[in-house]
Structure 1
């Protein structure tokens, strides 16, 4: 593509980092997605973003789908392109949006993998054997106690802890939304134990490495995997399984999907509704007890 077109991408990425304050994860995804479409444009002699048409994007979607790229991944790429074109239109660098009315191929929704209460207890009711493991246990307790995303946990600062009120402030939720989440007694205890041992460092991060730097997402994933191996947990674990388990267990006990939506930080309740499948047994029982034509009578032989 023309140099100005490539420069426009770089300015958009700078805009995401600066004005939008998007997370490093989001910025990285957008950068990769726009590089793919940029490569596609180069292969099809499209020199500017103004030249890109809806038919070109349909071709791009078709190629990605043919290469067995899932619908959710393609939808994310289209989302990146939509944000990019909104930026271009705002700057008056293009006169049309070629993405209007375009949708990615639908893919079946994958149900989140969760743990039962006993499995969670097997992971969390283990005595840590070192300062680092005390830190790790505090992280894992927070995932399950408060339903944090991995990105939200690593971005926690000391000023976000409101222990007296039993809350955490999440400042970098999805879509840059802020929310308060409660912290359970077990998580409060684990967090207090870590904070008592946390090294005095310049970083304001709650969870820091031995060198005093803020822990990255990959480090947290590796520590959870190591914890599970050490404690004989056969299940392949990742932090979101604890978040999913939090949502499932809370919904099962409370039946309050709106409250669970707020705690998870979901913008749309349809995202939260995926957890209702896990409580189908309870719903079936309620139906049998409540519906006037659902009650089964003994069959007369």
Structure 2
């Protein structure tokens, strides 16, 4: 079974060209499945059946796994069996027709526009790290990049005179995104300092030793900026969520926001319509005369 898994992971890496982050997610999910198989003395992927998968999902749910995590595990398992069927290793999909338990749908955390401006307009240290981190923050918020997209970004993907960045997203799908004026200014201030580090490759964001920054390093720098400027936890995806919500709030153009985010399914983008409705409901409660009158009478 492990040999089949290793071959599948290599297929994902070299042929499907999934990101390292996505590959790690598949690996974590399928390790849970192999642990279950070992526990129940299932020695081949052909031996795993639908009843076993239902039992696995039930066990994971009892251990506190969320519906979203279990849905991802089922998706990982279906992907494995698609590969095994194509390779002639199996002729079934034990996860077919199984749904994860529905859990509470949590809306993504984000910054409102004032907090986003507070973060980006904070003091910038006039040095290598200060300008690099400012350029990263501005680009995350300006263009809605995923963490893996920013980490993998190379100089030849930037077209600052045109205000564009060419991004390789999930499934190595390319999209072209606008880069706002403040992000362009921050990048133009950063790039001369970047050159002084004698970079080892074409990475846009590098360490002082010239090596491409990894995902964990970027997460750490964003978290530190959140503590320093906002006194709160901050992660790269929160900036992407903020970008999406603020764009939708201003434009009301769901299709365009879908394209900017690189979502294959518009249903994924529709989460931001819920966020936008919450904003509108809050404005209504504060501004509508009849809403105010009810609130005042309750006091």
Q: What is the distance in 2 between the residues matched to 1:284 and 1:22? A: 39
Instruction: Describe the superposition over 1:138-191 as per-residue Cα deviations: whole angstroms up to 9, x where unpaired.
Output: 0000111011111111110001001122110001x1233210110000000001
Q: Match for residue 129 of structure 2?
A: 132
Offset of 1:206 from its aligned partner? 0.4
1:77 matched to 2:73 = yes
Q: Match for residue 226 of structure 1?
A: 224
Which structure is higher in helix share?
2
Q: What is the distance in 1 between the residues matched to 2:220 and 2:281? A: 39
Aligned with residue 16 of structure 2, among 15, 20, 32 = 20
Does the 8 A contact of 2:107 with 2:275 survive in 1? Answer: no
Q: What is the distance in 1 between the residues matched to 2:108 and 2:224? A: 22
SS in 2 for 1:181: strand
SS in 2 for 1:263: helix
Does the 8 A contact of 2:18 with 2:170 survive in 1? Answer: no
Please, which moves more after superposition, 5-14 or 195-204? 195-204
Offset of 1:69 from its aligned partner? 0.4
Q: Match for residue 200 of structure 1?
A: 198
Offset of 1:284 from its aligned partner? 6.4
- Structural mapping, 1:1-301, within 5 Å: 5-129=1-125, 130-171=127-168, 173-198=169-194, 199-231=197-229, 233-280=230-277
Instruction: Describe the superposition over 1:243-295 as per-residue Cα deviations: whole angstroms up to 9, x where unpaired.
Output: 1111111111111111111111111111111111232267669x9xxxxxxxx
Offset of 1:202 from its aligned partner? 2.5
**TM-score (ref. length: structure 2):** 0.90
Q: What is the distance in 1 between the residues matched to 2:27 and 2:178? A: 35
Offset of 1:80 from its aligned partner? 1.1
Structure 2 unaligned blocks of 5 or more: 285-289, 291-299
Structure 1 unaligned blocks of 5 or more: 288-295, 297-301
Q: Between Structure 1 and Structure 2, how many residues are aligned?
A: 286
Per the alignment, do residues 101 and 139 of structure 1 end up closer, same or farther by CA in structure 2, a change over 3 Å counting? Answer: same
Does the 8 A contact of 2:153 with 2:204 survive in 1? Answer: yes
Q: What is the distance in 1 between the residues matched to 2:279 and 2:123? A: 34
SS in 2 for 1:47: coil
Please, which moves more after superposition, 264-273 or 58-67? 264-273
Instruction: Describe the superposition over 1:190-239 as per-residue Cα deviations: whole angstroms up to 9, x where unpaired.
Output: 011111111332211100111111111111111112223333x2221111
